[in-house]
Amino acid sequence: MPTHKSAEKRVRQTEKRTARNKAVRSKFNTEIRRFEQAVKNEEGKDIIEQRLRQAVKTIDQTASKGVIHENKAARIKSRLMKKFNKLN
């Protein structure tokens, strides 16, 4: 346990940030999973495109909050776009 007042504050801040990042990352993973599930189940092209847009939006939000690096976000979006374009 921290013995300084400032260290106690840092622990509180870290707990808040960890919880916030965990929620953002969970949403991030869920949206990617939904898109990949739609592709796997061969749902309609409109549904797959809608899932892709939502996934890209969530990826951008996650990167802007600093939960993932912007290069990682770009790489993931590129891979999702490849999967989508392969359907055509």
Burial of 4-32, coded b for 16+ CB within 10 Å and e otherwise, reads: eeeeeeeeeeeeeeeeeeeebeeebeebb
Percent of the chain residues past pLDDT 70, beyond the cut: 100
Domains held by the chain: number:
1
Q: Which domain holds residue 72?
A: 5-87
CATH of residue 48: 1.20.58.110
The dihedral through the CA atoms of 63, 66, 70, 73 has a sign that is negative
Q: Give pLDDT tens digits for 27-69.
A: 999 999 999 999 999 989 999 999 999 999 999 999 999 999 9
Assess whether pLDDT exceeds 90 at residue 78: yes
The whole model's pTM is what? 0.86
- Please tell me the distance from the alpha carbon of residue 56 to that of residue 58, in angstroms, as a whole number: 5
Burial degree of 51 (CB within 10 A; 0-12, 13-18, 19+) = buried
Residue with tokens 């939006």: 57
pLDDT at 2: 87
Assess whether pLDDT exceeds 90 at residue 5: yes
**Structure-model confidence comparison of residues 1 and 42, the more confident one:** 42
pLDDT at 88: 76
